[in-house]
Chains A and B, each alone.
Chain A
Amino acid sequence: MRVLVLYAHPVETSFAAALHAAVVEGLRAAGHSVDICDLYAENFNPILSRSERLAYHAPDADRSAVAPWIARLEAAEALVLLSPVWNFGYPAILKGFLDRVFLPGVTFAIDNGAVVPGPARLRRIAAVHTYGGPRWAAFMAGDPPRRFARRILRRLFRPDRAVRYLALYDMNRATPSARAAFLARVAAEMKAL
């Protein structure tokens, strides 16, 4: 499968960067072709502009500013989200990818008031996230990234399997062995995607 990896972390030496390597290694070992979208390295601008907002529902509008990312999303058969969780949500640069690229006519269309998927079709979806706080804190806040991946992405793309949600909580106090175990788990899950 062609797998699009949406990766968001500003620092190359972070644990997220190690996860990124594990994701790519696992996917390649399983024979997938991997398109890495490193949002920071690509200098992705997450701000939906006024003109984009006004033309949001017009699929024939000029979307040249985000056309390369639309093409990559439409070419993908699987999606992996990879980022830290900040303040109970995605980093702005990743949220902005949803705002600007997950457009009507790309990820969904509205047909007689009902939302139908596509043309982008994703057969597999996985999300890999690290949380600074413990799981109970995320749970108390309704764990927005988990809900988004497990429910919204599933409804949107209707993948063949349930969304795989891989989370390491309590990063601020995670031991080296907990981190190593999570890296191994992520690589194994990617091989089985």
Chain B
Amino acid sequence: MRVLIVHSHPDPDSYNASLCRTVAETLTRGGHELRVIDLYAEGFQPVLSREGWRAYEDAARNADGIEDHVAALRWAEGLIFVYPTWWYGLPAMLKGWLDRVWTPGVAFTLPKDGPIAPSLTHIRKLGVVTTCGASWWLTQVVGAPGRNLMLRGCRFLMAPRCKRLYLAHYRMDVSTPLSREKFRARVRRAMARF
């Protein structure tokens, strides 16, 4: 499968960045074809600018300057996000990637008289690998906004039977070398089956 990995963490020496490498290595071994976007490494600009907003609904112009990102998204059959969960959600860097790249004509269309229509129907598998400071139960209590944004919001724009995978290491602040390695093994197993 053609898999796009989108990674957002400011520190290449972080555990989260190492998880991204684990994902890529395991998928490569499984024979998948990969593209990796490392948003911090490439200095992605996540703010949808005034010019960007004015061109937002114009499919002929709204990919200006981010053509590579749009092409990678259109190329993908599988999409995996690897990022830390901050404030129960996506890092601004990654949220801005959605704001700027998931535009009308790319991720969806807005018919004049109908509801929003998905355009990423070539994506059959969506995966999230994330690290959270909060516990699992607290995340449920507050309604898991980050997870919902990905697994329900973004997922809605993909193939009708798109499969979902969500792997989270909770309570990172009290994680141990053992808990981190157990989680890495879980990520590796899931990616071997991806």
Q: How many residues of B contact A (CB 8 A)?
A: 43
B170 within 8 A of A: no
| Most chain B beta carbons < 10 A, residue from A132, A152, A155 | A152
- Nearest B residue to A149 by beta-carbon distance? B145
Does B90 belong to the interface (CB within 8 Å)? yes
Q: Do A95 and B142 form a contact, CB below 8 Å, given A46-B46, A54-B11?
A: no
| Chain B 139-165 interface mask (CB, 8 Å, partner A; 1/0) | 001111110110011101000000000
> A140: CB under 8 A from chain B?
yes
A95 engages B89 (CB within 8 Å): yes
Chain B residues in contact with chain A, CB under 8 A?
9-11, 14, 40, 46-50, 52-54, 86-93, 95-96, 98-99, 102, 110, 115-116, 141-146, 148-149, 152-154, 156, 173-174
Residues of B contacting A86 in the complex (Cβ-Cβ under 8 angstroms): 48, 98-99
Q: Which 3 A-B pairs have the closest CB atoms?
A: A92-B96, A142-B148, A96-B92
Measured CA separation A142–B14 after assembly (Å): 30
Known: A50-B11, A92-B93. A98 touches B86 (CB 8 A): yes
Cross-chain contact of A142 among B95, B102, B144 (Cβ < 8 A): B144
Cβ B143 vs Cβ A91 within 8 A: no
- Which of B48, B50, B110, B149 is within 8 Å of A92, CB to CB? B48
